[in-house]
Amino acid sequence: MQEALRHKSFGGFLTVHDHDSAVTNCTMRFAVYTPPQAADGPVPVLWYLSGLTCTWQNVNEKSGIHRHAAEHGMMVVFPDTSPRGEGVADDDAYDLGQGAGFYLTATEDPWARHFRMDRYIAEELPALVADRFPAADMNRQGIFGHSMGGHGALTLHLKHPERYRSVSAFAPIVAPSKVPWGQKAFAAYLGADRSAWQAYDATELVARQRSKAHILIDQGAADQFLAEQLRPELFAEACRHAGQQLTLNMRDGYDHSYYFVGTFLGEHFAHHAGTLDR
């Protein structure tokens, strides 16, 4: 692992790292914000998963996330949204290929060799963080994300509820099997058999097995993708039937942007702290 960048921020440090991944078969870049409290001992770890077209960089530069992480004494890990580089399959569209990994393990060519983002985030990257960041308390992990990253956060939590003890999302794709973004990506990455899609669909997963966590979702009511791509009402209904604790906040006037994310980040950190500080 090689450190590529380092910036001091709110008393802590944002560091950016490159490493060769055995899971994605390419060089991966990720970032870590280490809060000032890490100088005194282990701190909780939050995983932030970004949305379509993003990298580790967007939320770090546009949302003010370091202030909240420093206030609550939480380390935040920012994986990339997909494998990248020469030789990695790609597509001209923004919603498929590099930048659009959808936090799954692809089974179809040409994607299967590199696009294994759920395994990368759940298996390889945590081992690297635990080894290289001694202040990371891996017994206190939470996960959150935005849009495609919200989809990833919900599905990874529902598959690993004991690991990711807290979970939240901003404008997540909650039912990818039923919306154009998800249907396009799933057909390409996973093939035509829709039964394989269910393992990466939060609405399907929560219907099978609720978690003990209280899920927090914030959704902009003026989000341009709300009606066609996001459809939070489907997840809310599945949670109601499953007995899953859910708070879904519809935020009047807010869209899909980082202005929206930045506005409510503090509430999400407080939500995670309520579980991880115990």
Active site amino acids: 147, 223, 256
Structure tokens at 268: 């999400």
Q: Which of 83, 50, 56 is nearest to 173 (CA)?
A: 50
Query: How far is 110 from 90, CA to CA, in rounded Å?
Result: 9
Residues contacting 93, CB < 8 A, separation 6+: none
Structure tokens at 23: 């899971």
Query: How far is 143 from 166, CA to CA, in rounded Å?
Result: 6
Residue whose entry in the numeric block shows the structure tokens 């009511």: 221
Query: How far is 252 from 250, CA to CA, in rounded Å?
Result: 6
